[in-house]
Structure 1
Amino acid sequence: MTGPHGTAFSGRVGWGERPALVVVDLVRAYTEAGGPFLLPDPGPAVRATAALVEAARSAGRPVVWTVVRYDRGLSDGGLFVRKVPALAAFADGADGGWGGLVLEPVPGEPVVAKQYASAFFGTSLAATLHTAGVDTVVVAGVSTSGCIRATATDALGHGFRPQVVRDACADRTAELHEQNLRDLDAKYADVTDLADALAHLRRSPP
C-alpha cells in the first residue's frame, strides 16, 4: 500500500494447509423479491458461493453455514435488533421464511445459528474449526460490510487465516462492497478472487 502510510498495511496472511469454507447468512432475505435485505444483484455471489461449496466438498474440506435466528420475542437479540429492526424477519415464527438458506447443506455440514454480525460471536464456530484442524477460513456470503466483515475480522482474532472471496460476497451497493473489501484487505483479511480460492480448496488435504 503506497501513500502517507507507506507499507504499514496490506501484508498477507496467506493460505494454510487446511482451509474450511464458511458461508455466511446466504438466506432468502437477501436474494428473493420482497426480502427485507434484498440485494440489487445477488445472483453472481450465489453462483460463486455454489462453486466454492462444490470445490470444498469434492476435496473433503469442511463447509459450515450460518443463519441468523432469534426467539419469538427477540429477547436474545439485544441491542442489535433495535439498531436493525428488520432483523425481526429472522425471529421464530416470523412470516415469509426469510431465514431459509438459498443453497442446501448436506448431512455433516454444521449450520451455526447466530444473533449478531460475526459468525464467531457467541457461537461454537471457533471450537468446531479448531477441532477439525482448520487453519484457513474462506469466507463467502452476505453482506460484505456487515457479517462478512465481522466474521473475517473475528477469524483473524481466533487465529485463522481469513480469505474473503470477492466474487462470492455482495452488499446493498457496489460502493459499499468495494470499500469494505479494500479495507478488509488492508487490515484484517486477504481478499482473493474465485479462481484462486477454488484452486486452494481443490488441493488434496495433506
Structure 2
Amino acid sequence: MRTGPSCWDDAAWRETVLSAGRPTLVIRGVTTEVVVLRTALDALAHGLDVQVLVDACGGIAARTEDAALRQIEAAGGVVTSVAGFAADMGGVRDSLRRMLTSPPPATPQPVRRRQRPTGSRGRPVTAYARRCRWPKGRRGRPAAR
C-alpha cells in the first residue's frame, strides 16, 4: 500500500519493478507535479533510467508541470513523447528500415478470364450444342435430313 506521493513508497510495487531486471522505468500518470515527479526521482535514486512520457501525463497547471519535468531532466531522467518512445524502442525503427531497404514484392499478374467458346454468331456455345455436334447447314442451323 502506498503511503506517500511516490509509487516507490509501496514496497510490493518497488520489489516487482526491481525484480523485473529491466534498466529503464517508463512513467506516465496524472498529477505530474506530485506522483510522476516523486516516483521518477526515487527511481533515479535507486539507479534506474527513467523516461517520462509527457503526452501521457497530466498536470495541475502548465507552469508547474513544466517545472516538474525540468526537475526530472536535471536529475538525469529523459522527458519524451509516446511516439518518440515507440520509435526509440527499436521495433518500429527496424521494421521501417526493412520496408525501405528491401526490394518491393513481385507484382502479381492479372488473372485472365477464360474465354467461352462462341458459335458463328458470337453467342456462347452451350454444353448441349457441343454434345450434339449437329452438322451445320446454312447459317449454323442443323442440316435438313
Mapping of residues 159-170 of structure 1, within 5 Å: 159-170=47-58
CA contact (8 A) 2:27 2:52 kept: yes
Cα distance in structure 2, aligned partners of 1:144 and 1:127:
23
Within the candidate set 53, 58, 78, 1:190 is matched to 78
What RMSD, in angstroms, separates the aligned Cα atoms of the two structures? 1.9
CA contact (8 A) 1:167 1:194 kept: yes
Aligned residue in 2 for 1:137? 25
CA contact (8 A) 1:152 1:188 kept: no
Cα distance in structure 1, aligned partners of 2:91 and 2:39:
24
Larger relative helix fraction: 2
Within the candidate set 159, 176, 179, 2:67 is matched to 179
Moved beyond 3 Å, runs of 4+: 200-204
How many correspondences in the alignment? 92
Q: CA deviation at 1:201?
A: 4.7
Q: Which residue identity is paired with 2:12?
A: S
1:14-72 residue CA offsets vs partner (Å, 9 max, x unmatched): xxxxxxxxxxxxxxxxxxxxxxxxxxxxxxxxxxxxxxxxxxxxxxxxxxxxxxxxxxx
TM-score (norm 1): 0.41
Unpaired segments ≥5 residues, structure 1:
1-112
Larger relative strand fraction: 1
Report which of the two structures shows the higher radius of gyration computed on alpha carbons.
2
For the structure 1 residues 126 and 159, does the alpha-carbon distance in structure 2 shift closer, same or farther, using more than 3 Å as the test? farther
Unpaired segments ≥5 residues, structure 2:
93-145
Cα distance in structure 2, aligned partners of 1:120 and 1:192:
21
Cα distance in structure 2, aligned partners of 1:200 and 1:124:
29
Aligned residue in 2 for 1:156? 44
TM-score (norm 2): 0.57
Q: Which residue identity is paired with 1:123?
A: A
SS at match of 1:167: helix
Q: Which residue identity is paired with 2:77?
A: A
Aligned residue in 1 for 2:132? none
CA contact (8 A) 1:139 1:163 kept: yes
CA contact (8 A) 2:44 2:75 kept: no
